[in-house]
Amino acid sequence: MLSPMIKLYTFGPAFGLIDPSPFVAKVHLFMTLNKIAFETESDARLLAKAPKKKFPVINDDGKIIADSSFILKHLSEKYKIDMDASLNDTQRATAYHIGKSLEENLYWCLVHSRWMNDDTWPIIKQQFFNDLPFPLNKIVPAVVRNGTRKRINGHGMGAHTDDEINAIANESFASVSTLLGNKAYLFGDTISTLDLIIFAQIGAFTLSIIDNKAARIAKEYDNLVGLTQRIQHAYYPKLNTNN
C-alpha cells in the first residue's frame, strides 16, 4: 500500500513568488528539484495549529515536522539526498554560515520592507487580510502588523532607521554577489542547499512584484537577479519574474 503523499502547508503563491515566505520557498524548491511527490495546502488560518505557529510545516504520513531546516534534514535522510555532495568540508562550513546570515539577518530586512514600509503595507494588507469580513478586516491587520513590529524590534533590526536597514540588506546583497561572481551557482556549476536559500531569501526581493527601496537595491546586482531568475524559470516557469 502506498504511503500518503507528503503535505506541505504554505501561504500559497503571491507577489510573483512561489510563496511569500522564503522558508516555505526553500522547502518547496527542495522537494520540486529532487522530485519528491507532495501536495500543498495553502491556508494562513492553519498557522494557529502549526507546532511553532509558522510555516512551513509538512505532514509526512502522520509525522508533523516544522521549520525549514528540520524539514530538509528529514527529507534528506528519508530519500538519501545530499544537496551538498559536491562541496568539501570548508565549503560546507562556509555555506552554513552564509545561509544563516541570510535567514537570520537579511530575512528581517525583508520583513521590515514589507510590513513596516507604509508604501508597501497596503499590498501586504490586501494579500493577507482582504478576505476577512468586517470588522475583522479592520482589526486583524493592525493587530498582526503590531505583532510583527514587536518581533522585528525583538530581533534588534527594528532599532535601526529605514536607511540603515536598507544599508544592512545591501551588505548582504553585495557580499553574496561578490562570492557568486560569474559562476552559475555559488560553488560552481552544481546547485547546493545554499543556492536554495539564496533563491528563497534574495529572490524574495529580486523576483517579487513588490516595488520598494530594498527590492530596487537587490535588483541592481545583475548576477543575483540572473541566478534567482534562472532557478525560477527552470522550476516555476509560470510565475511572474518581472522580465
Query: Helix/strand/coil (H, E, C) string of 62-115?
Result: CEEEECHHHHHHHHHHHCCCCCCCCCCHHHHHHHHHHHHHHHHHHHHHHHHHHH
Is residue 158 within 8 Å of residue 165, measured between CB atoms?
Answer: no
With the CA atoms of 144, 147, 153 and 156 taken in that order, what torsion angle do they form, in degrees rounded to the nearest 10?
Answer: -80
40-71: b or e for each residue (b if 16 or more CB lie within 10 Å)?
Answer: beeebeeeeeeeeeebbbbbbeeeebbbbeeb
Nearest-angstrom CA–CA distance, 184 and 166: 26
pLDDT digit string, tens, across residues 196-210: 999 999 999 999 999
CA torsion sign for 123, 124, 125, 129 is positive
**Residue 57: its H or E element:** strand 57-60
Overall average pLDDT of the 171-195 stretch: 98
The dihedrals phi and psi of 38, each to the nearest 5 degrees, come to -155, 165
Provide the grid cell at 162. Answer: 529605514
Q: Of 41-55, 145-159, 164-178, which gets the smallest average pLDDT? A: 41-55
pLDDT band at 45 (very low <50, low <70, confident <90, very high): confident
Is residue 63 within 8 Å of residue 38, measured between CB atoms?
Answer: no
Nearest-angstrom CA–CA distance, 13 and 30: 16
Overall average pLDDT of the 170-186 stretch: 98
The dihedrals phi and psi of 9, each to the nearest 5 degrees, come to -90, 125
Nearest-angstrom CA–CA distance, 220 and 243: 14
How many other C-beta atoms lie within 10 A of the C-beta of residue 83? 19
pLDDT digit string, tens, across residues 110-140: 999 999 999 999 999 999 998 888 899 899 9
99: nearest Cα among 208, 37, 20, 175: 175
Provide the pLDDT for residue 50. Answer: 85
Give this prediction's pTM. 0.94
Domains and CATH numbers, the chain: 6-78 (3.40.30.10), 89-235 (1.20.1050.10)
Question: DSSP string covering 112-170, please?
Answer: HHHHT-TTTHHHHHHHHHTTSPTTHHHHHHHHHHHHHHHHHHHHTGGGS-HHHHHHHHH
